[in-house]
Chains A and B, each alone.
Chain A
Amino acid sequence: MRGQTTFARWWQSPAGTTAAVILLAIALVLSLILAVSFGTTRLPVGQVYTIIRQELFHLLTGTPLPADSAAGTAVHDVVWLIRLPRLVLAAAVGTCLSLCGVAMQAIVKNPLADPYILGVSSGANLGVTLAVLLGVGTALGGNYVGLMAFAGALGISFAVVALANVGGRASSVKLLLAGSALSAVCGAGTQFLLYLRNADRAAGEILRWTMGSLAAANWPNNGLMLGVAVLGTVFFLTQCRTINLMLLGDETAVTLGTDLHRYRIAYLIVSSLMVGFAVYSAGAIGFVGLVVPHVVRLLFGTDHRRLVPLCALSGAVFLVWADVLCRTILPGNEIPIGILTSLLGAPVFLYLMVRRKYGFGGGDA
């Protein structure tokens, strides 16, 4: 027992955290390669590795692919054009969602917050409904449904921030209230449209957005999503100290030399952008943003200097394996990833909660 606590303490020390970050980064790379080999047909890991290495080398240095490359073969296309893009998207979306979960939990000072707490998913749904049913946004081009989801997600976040700032500074409680009110309005709007039009097609499309899917992954969009994930991570890495103070509340933070107001607004905008892009690329994948921060917090403590890097990496690893499972659990059929993240995440979360007597800091809970 004693040994176990010493071990747990070591993980929470700066050296332990560095070790965990390195291990997780290695795990992420290995996961990506291994995960590509899983699917309807199993591919040999060695071959997968060679194809990815050659393509990356080609991409980064601009030198032509070696003569013996598998380019053009079916295996190559499955690896490089079908499976890897989804997994890279999974990793980027996983990072964004778990980081935004961390940020939202701090912004509203509530451990039950997730990236969608301020109504992002209902905003996205309304955007999709408007696009599919009424053709709003067709002028935006081929991917107008996705763009409308993005607009809905971002629109509602900014509306929440604006509303919470009316009549005094936005407090955690005002944000939560504005979020749930606007969320209800968007939900009602979506249902009203569906009811009026009695449209099955739109209902199916909306369901797809609420359950999330990585099927539409492609390299150009992945580049964008990876950029968002990396920039978001770097941004929050520079903010760890302030995020810690956020959990102590505005009054304590002022006496410790930080006025949280503008930070809160900045984090909301950055999070909204990250979640907006994640929703645009993969729909509203649930539970990742709630469960990953809590699991990491359980194992490594609340200090955000550990939490931010570890959540960014574990969110990515988690979603990569979730995607593998969705593709392989039912042969010849793909389960929407949002269903899987909840099925997978909830039991793990409950187990940890019961085993470790995790009380969200409630102490005796």
Chain B
Amino acid sequence: MKITVQQLEKSLGGRLILQNVTLDIPENKTLGILGPNGSGKSTLLRCICRVLQPEGGAILLDGQPLQRYSVRQSARQMAVVAQHNTYNFDFTVRDFVLMGRSPHKRAFERDNARDYEIAAQSLTQVGLAGYGDRSFASLSGGEQQRVILARALAQQTPCLLLDEPTNHLDIRYQLQLMELVHGLGRTVIAAVHDLNIAAMYCDTLAVMQAGRIVATGTPKEILTPELIQQVYGVHARVLQDENGVPYILFRPGCGTITK
């Protein structure tokens, strides 16, 4: 499935958050969206997954405008792992993951053996096999984040949208999660903060600044000291490992606000 973003405009609270954003999302690759806080990464993702309605431009799924699809149809194409939420009500982990099957179900259809199997598989994939009976609220933030990923996997969509998915995870699970999503071979769009994670697991990067895309390319092309300086205002050193993967180093003092 091919996703194209064309001249997208969106303002929130009277401020233009996305300006003329045009982006071809490479199929079956991991696209990382970089950019400082408030640059519009989340807003872009939220427009693509239909939580927000853009004011101008278009998002095309296989050449068709997104609005032509029902939300059910688009939920069969794209699953979302958003920034971690808290809920007022508690579900068991299994029930929670089973909700990922919703877009494939009619209103009154029951979950069948296959749905349970998919839910169990998804939990195994995120390393939470056997957690089915636990209550979601009793899990740690990192475990909850992985359950949400399991729910998205249970949706069995060709595309995954991740909005800072590694926020609540320790380094081991950050790496595992990115490894897992990257290894799925599906189209992945991920807003990422950690430049080294982006360098390791993204095939392509798009950099946003003040609501615009300012650069796209491979990690090697994008992650240069100049660009990091320009976008984040931070002095960084960039090394490369033996495979040419950039490795970004920061030192104390390099984040000093410069006038």
A303 touches B71 (CB 8 A): no
Nearest chain A CB to B71 CB, angstrom units: 5
Number of A-B contacts (CB under 8 A): 109
Stretch from B20-28, B89-97, B242-250 forming part of the interface with A: B89-97
- Please give 15 more A-B residue pairs, beta carbons under 8 A apart, in addition to A241-B105, A257-B71: A12-B92, A12-B133, A244-B91, A247-B88, A249-B85, A251-B46, A254-B49, A254-B71, A255-B79, A256-B100, A257-B73, A257-B102, A303-B92, A361-B135, A362-B88
B85 touches A252 (CB 8 A): yes
In the complex, chain A residues 19-38 whose Cβ is within 8 Å of any chain B Cβ:
none
Please name all residues of chain B whose beta carbon is closer than 8 Å to the beta carbon of A9 when the two chains form the complex. 133
In the complex, chain B residues 72-94 whose Cβ is within 8 Å of any chain A Cβ:
72-76, 78-80, 82, 85, 87-92
B99 touches A251 (CB 8 A): no
A50 at the B interface (CB under 8 A)? no
A363 touches B155 (CB 8 A): no
From the candidates A105, A245, A250, name the one contacting B102 in the complex (CB within 8 A): A245
Nearest chain A CB to B89 CB, angstrom units: 4
Interface size on B, residues (CB 8 A): 38
From the candidates A12, A256, A361, A364, name the one contacting B75 in the complex (CB within 8 A): A256
Compute how far the CA of A347 lies from the CA of B50 in the bound complex, rounded to whole angstroms.
45
A135 at the B interface (CB under 8 A)? no
Compute how far the CA of A302 lies from the CA of B103 in the bound complex, rounded to whole angstroms.
20
* Candidate in A237, A250, A251 with the most chain B CB atoms within 10 angstroms: A251
In the complex, chain A residues 196-243 whose Cβ is within 8 Å of any chain B Cβ:
237-239, 241-242
A109 at the B interface (CB under 8 A)? yes
Closest B residue to A359 using CB positions: B137
B218 at the A interface (CB under 8 A)? no
B138 at the A interface (CB under 8 A)? yes
B95 touches A259 (CB 8 A): no
Compute how far the CA of A258 lies from the CA of B50 in the bound complex, rounded to whole angstroms.
11
In the complex, chain B residues 114-143 whose Cβ is within 8 Å of any chain A Cβ:
133, 135-138
B107 touches A241 (CB 8 A): yes
B51 at the A interface (CB under 8 A)? yes
Compute how far the CA of A297 lies from the CA of B89 in the bound complex, rounded to whole angstroms.
10
A187 at the B interface (CB under 8 A)? no
For the complex of A and B, 10 pairs with smallest distance between CB atoms: A257-B103, A257-B75, A361-B90, A363-B137, A257-B72, A255-B80, A361-B89, A251-B51, A247-B89, A256-B102
Compute how far the CA of A56 lies from the CA of B72 in the bound complex, rounded to whole angstroms.
46
From the candidates A245, A258, A302, name the one contacting B90 in the complex (CB within 8 A): A302
